[in-house]
Structure 1
Amino acid sequence: MGQIEWAMWANEQALASGLILLIGGVVGVAGQFRDWEFAAYGVAAGVFVILLEYPRGKRRKGTTMERPGQWFLAAVVKLFGPLTRNYYVRAILHACLAVPGGFILPTVLGTVNLGIASLIYLLAAFRKEEWRPIQAAQTQKGHVGKSIHQPPTNPPPRPPAEHRRKQMDDGRTGAIEVTATP
C-alpha cells in the first residue's frame, strides 16, 4: 500500500479553514460583536490563507489536478521560495494565524480548523514533503489520426468486439428499422 501524502490533506484543510475564517470574520464585523477587531483580523487572515493555499502542490507520484486559475497564484507562491515551500514554515505560520481568531465566537471554528491544518502540515514536514508547483502539461504535437484506425460507429455502450464482428459479417448494423403501418 502506498504512503499518504499529508500535504494534500493539509492543503485542503487549510483552504477550507481560510474560507470558514473569512466567513466568520465577516459575520463578526457585520454583527458588531464585542471585540469585533478580532473578526476584522479573521477576514484578513482568511484572505491570506486562501491566497496561500489555493495553488495545489505537485504530488510525488501520479497526477495532480490543477485548480482553475491557480497558475498565477502558484507563481507568486513560488516567488517567495523557501518561506512558502517549506511545510515547517507553513505549520508555524498557520498556528500563529490561528491564535487571535480564538478570542471571538464567529471565528473560533476557522481557528480550530486552521490549527488542525497546522498539525497536518507539521506531520507532512516530518515526512520530508515539500511544496512543488505543478508544471504546465506539455502538448503533444503528434498526429492523432495514426493511432485511430476506424472511429466507432455505434454509440456507447458498445457490444464486445466478437459480437461486432459477427454483426458486420451478418450485414446487421445494429440500427432499429421502423416501418409505418397504414
Structure 2
Amino acid sequence: MGKIEWAMWANEQALASGFILLTGGIVGVAGQFRGWQFAAYAVAAGVFVCLLEYPRSKRSKGTSVERTGQYCFTVCVKGFGPLTRNYYVRAFLHAAISVPGGFMLATVLGCVCLGIASLIYLVAAIRGEHWEPILPTKEIRKPVGESIKNPPQNPPPRPPPEMRRKRVDDLEGAAYDNPISVTANE
C-alpha cells in the first residue's frame, strides 16, 4: 500500500471548515444572536482560513491537480515563506483560530471541524510533510509518431501489410496499364 499524505486530507478538511465557519458567522451576525461579536470574528477567521487553504500543495508523487484560479493565491501563500510552508505552524494557527468559535452555537460546527483539521495537520507535520507550491511548468511536446501522421486508410479489421492490395498510384512502372483508364482520360 502507498504512503498516506496527511496534508492533502488536512487541506480539504480545513478548507471545508473555513466555509462552515464563514457560514456560521454570517448566520450569527445576520441573526444578531447574543455574542454576535464572536460571529463577526468567525466571518473574518473563515475568510482567512479559506484564503490560506485554497491553494493545494504539490504531492510527493507529482500527480498534483491545482484548483481553478489557484495561482494568485499560491503566490500570496508562498510569499509568507516558512510561516505558511510549515505544517506545525498551520496546526497551531488553526487550533488557535478555532477557540473563539466555540462560544457561539452558530459557529461551533466550524470550530470543531477546524480543530480536526488542526490535528490532521499536526500528524502531517510529525510525518515530515511540508507545503510545496504548484507552479506552472513549460510543457515539452513530444514528437508525433509516424503512425499518427499517417492514419490507417482501411477500416478494421485490417490484414497484415504484406497481404493488403496495392493501389495503382503506389505501383511505379507497373507492367500492366489499364487501357480503359488511358482512353477515358484522353
In structure 2, what is the equivalent of residue 34 of structure 1?
34
3-state DSSP class of the match of 1:18?
A: helix
Are the equivalent residues in 1 in contact too, given 2:71–2:135 (CA < 8 A)?
no
Q: Deviations over 1:93-149 (max 9, x none)?
A: 000000000000110000000000000000000000000001213222454465624
Q: CA deviation at 1:62?
A: 3.5
Q: Deviations over 1:137-177 (max 9, x none)?
A: 322245446562445789xxxx9xxx5315xx899xxxxxx
Structure showing greater Rg: 2
In structure 2, what is the equivalent of residue 78 of structure 1?
78
In structure 1, what is the equivalent of residue 43 of structure 2?
43
Flag structure 1 segments of 5+ consecutive residues without an equivalent. Answer: 172-182
3-state DSSP class of the match of 1:164?
A: coil
The structure-2 alpha-carbon separation of the partners of 1:67 and 1:170, relative to structure 1 and needing over 3 Å to count, comes to: same
Query: Which contiguous aligned blocks of 4+ residues in structure 1 show a shift greater than 3 angstroms?
Result: 141-147, 149-154
Q: CA deviation at 1:76?
A: 0.6
Superposition RMSD in Å? 2.5
Bigger Cα displacement from structure 2, 112-121 vs 145-154 = 145-154
The structure-2 alpha-carbon separation of the partners of 1:130 and 1:152, relative to structure 1 and needing over 3 Å to count, comes to: farther
In structure 2, what is the equivalent of residue 132 of structure 1?
132
CA distance in 2: counterparts of 1:136 and 1:33, whole angstroms: 46
In structure 2, what is the equivalent of residue 7 of structure 1?
7
CA distance in 1: counterparts of 2:145 and 2:83, whole angstroms: 47
* Aligned length, in residue pairs: 164
Amino acid at match of 1:164: P
| Residues 72-111 of structure 1 aligned to structure 2 (within 5 Å) | 72-111=72-111
In structure 2, what is the equivalent of residue 21 of structure 1?
21
| Residues 43-62 of structure 1 aligned to structure 2 (within 5 Å) | 43-62=43-62
CA distance in 2: counterparts of 1:164 and 1:54, whole angstroms: 50
TM-score (norm 2): 0.80
Amino acid at match of 2:118: S
In structure 1, what is the equivalent of residue 174 of structure 2?
none
Amino acid at match of 2:63: T
CA distance in 2: counterparts of 1:113 and 1:83, whole angstroms: 22
3-state DSSP class of the match of 1:165?
A: coil
TM-score (norm 1): 0.82
In structure 2, what is the equivalent of residue 64 of structure 1?
64
In structure 2, what is the equivalent of residue 165 of structure 1?
158
CA distance in 2: counterparts of 1:101 and 1:92, whole angstroms: 15
CA distance in 2: counterparts of 1:95 and 1:152, whole angstroms: 62
CA distance in 2: counterparts of 1:24 and 1:35, whole angstroms: 13
In structure 2, what is the equivalent of residue 118 of structure 1?
118
